[in-house]
Homo-oligomer: A and B are copies of this chain.
């Protein structure tokens, strides 16, 4: 009740009035404090823009960075399709780099170099590097060293970094920690590489996705360039005020000593512990299925599961052209997922929707359902996979 009164006091215009295009100052102040508290680094509320969810923030960054048709974005494979779709929409070029499945889906420096050089050979001018940490669909959490390497790489090639950090609260391993790009760059004394980082009320333990709340923080950008970004935002006036308030609540949660803190803490820890347990149940269960393999997800809300299927007689993907092979593999994982849906009611997303290394098949699934449902789901998938594989072998 005290919080509700405080919000009404700080926002006397109510929920029905436009705000500044960057969002309400008291919310941006809360976001800056949140970053400062999370990372122990300074944060400037005047470099924060409140957005209708992270998606709109990402689209604003890509709008700003896309200048010529040969401008390219280095994006992870597998990736969240917001990136490929927006790049295509804005008439820019997609430059894939493969995440290293064998190394917990971290980024590999040599792979980044290969990807960058291959793009240059094709006449593409990479302008930014997209990193999703924790990963969607991989569930991976990047190490401090990995992020340092990425920053050095961006610096060397004059790339901006687009850091999709919407799953920052979703980490389920005591040994792992979320390292923000802002923090690592600050520690490295990096002041040239432009950073766009994103957060959202849709993930974490809130999961308030319907409110479309989120923010975008920019670092290392000249004032006049930032002013242009604000101008872009002003075309559609401002982010919805309800979402701004939910962003405020996320970034300024009940503090120790406040009346609602114990309940807040219990709910937060309960949700995150439950997700951790469910990630293990799902990961272990799927790994028990012959022909399926996945890491126990350490972050985000997903498992990206590798699975094998026998090839039909006469099909040899090794001898196919790349485009033909991609089509062949896309048909195989899509058909698999559709049959799974039809026969068991379980909906997973084909790996080809996110991109995957040639010669591999995956699907993305989630550990959001209740525990018992996950157990039943794993049993059901085992039965389906065994029968489907047997049928393909003929």
Chain A residues at the B interface, C-beta cutoff of 8 Å:
13-19, 52-53, 55-56, 59, 63, 82, 85-86, 89, 91, 202, 206-212, 232, 235-243
User: Which B residues are in CB contact (< 8 Å) with A91?
Assistant: 91
CA distance in complex: A3, B212 (Å): 24
Copies of this chain, how many? 2
Q: Measured between alpha carbons, how far is A70 from B17 in the docked complex, in Å?
A: 38
By a CB distance below 8 angstroms, the chain B residues around A17 are: 209-210
Tell me whether B210 and A241 are in contact (CB under 8 A): yes
A13 to B59, CA, bound (A): 27
Q: Which residues of B contact A206 (CB under 8 A)?
A: 16
State which of B16, B55, B86, B212 has its C-beta within 8 Å of the C-beta of A209: B16
Q: Contact: B16 with A210, CB < 8 Å? A: yes
B240 near A240: Cβ-Cβ < 8 Å: yes
- Pair A210/B63 contact, Cβ less than 8 Å: no
Which residues on the B side are within 8 Å of A55 (C-beta)?
Answer: 235-237
Question: How long is the Cα–Cα vector from A235 to B63 in the complex, in angstroms?
Answer: 14
Cβ-defined contact, B209 with A18, below 8 A: yes
A13: nearest chain-B partner, CB-CB = B210
Is B14 a contact of A235 with CB atoms below 8 Å? no
Least CB distance from A51 to B in Å reads: 10
Residue of B nearest to A83 (CB): B235
- The CA-CA distance from A235 to B55 in the complex, in Å, is 8
Q: Which residues of B contact A202 (CB under 8 A)?
A: 18
Please measure, in the bound complex, the distance between the C-alpha atom of A260 and the C-alpha atom of B56, giving whole angstroms.
37
Closest to A55 in B: B236
Q: How far, in angstroms, from A212 to B18 measured CA to CA in the complex? A: 9
* Alpha-carbon gap, A56 to B53, bound state (A): 14
- What are 19 A-B residue pairs whose CB atoms fall within 8 Å in the complex? A15-B208, A15-B242, A16-B206, A16-B209, A16-B210, A17-B209, A17-B210, A18-B202, A52-B52, A52-B212, A56-B236, A59-B236, A82-B235, A82-B236, A85-B235, A210-B238, A212-B241, A240-B242, A240-B243
Chain B residues with CB below 8 A from A211, complex form? 15-16, 240-242
Q: Which of A17, A208, A240 has the most CB of B within 10 A?
A: A240
Closest to A242 in B: B242
Q: A210 near B240 (CB under 8 angstroms)? A: yes
Task: Enumerate chain B residues within 8 angstroms of A16, measured Cβ to Cβ.
Answer: 206-211
Q: How far is the CB of A212 from the nearest CB of chain B, in Å?
A: 4
- Please determine whether B235 and A209 come into contact, CB atoms closer than 8 angstroms: no
Residues of B within 8 A of A85 (CB): 235
Closest B residue to A239 using CB positions: B212
Residues of B with C-beta under 8 A to A52: 52, 212, 236, 240
- Assembled-state Cα–Cα distance A63/B235 (Å): 14
Query: Which residue of chain B has the shortest Cβ distance to A85 in the bound complex?
Result: B235
Nearest 5 A/B pairs, CB to CB: A210-B241, A212-B240, A242-B242, A16-B208, A55-B236
A391 to B393 CA separation, bound complex (whole angstroms): 93
Residues from chain B with Cβ under 8 Å of A207 in the complex: 16
- CB pair A18 B86 closer than 8 Å: no
* Alpha-carbon distance between A100 and B101 when the two chains are bound, in angstroms: 65
Nearest chain B residue, comparing its CB with the CB of A17: B210
Q: How close is A6's CB to chain B, nearest CB, in angstroms?
A: 18
Q: In the assembled complex, which residues on chain B have CB atoms less than 8 Å from the CB atom of A53? A: 236-237
CB distance from A206 to the nearest CB of B (A): 8
A253 CB, nearest partner CB in chain B, Å: 16
Among residues of B, the one whose C-beta sits closest to the C-beta of A206 is: B16
CB distance from A60 to the nearest CB of B (A): 11
Determine the distance from Cα of A55 to Cα of B21 in the docked complex, in whole angstroms.
Answer: 13
Contacts of A14 in B (CB 8 A): 210
Closest to A59 in B: B236
Q: Are B89 and A210 in contact, with the CB atoms below 8 A?
A: no
> For A241, what are the chain B residues with a Cβ–Cβ distance below 8 Å?
210-212
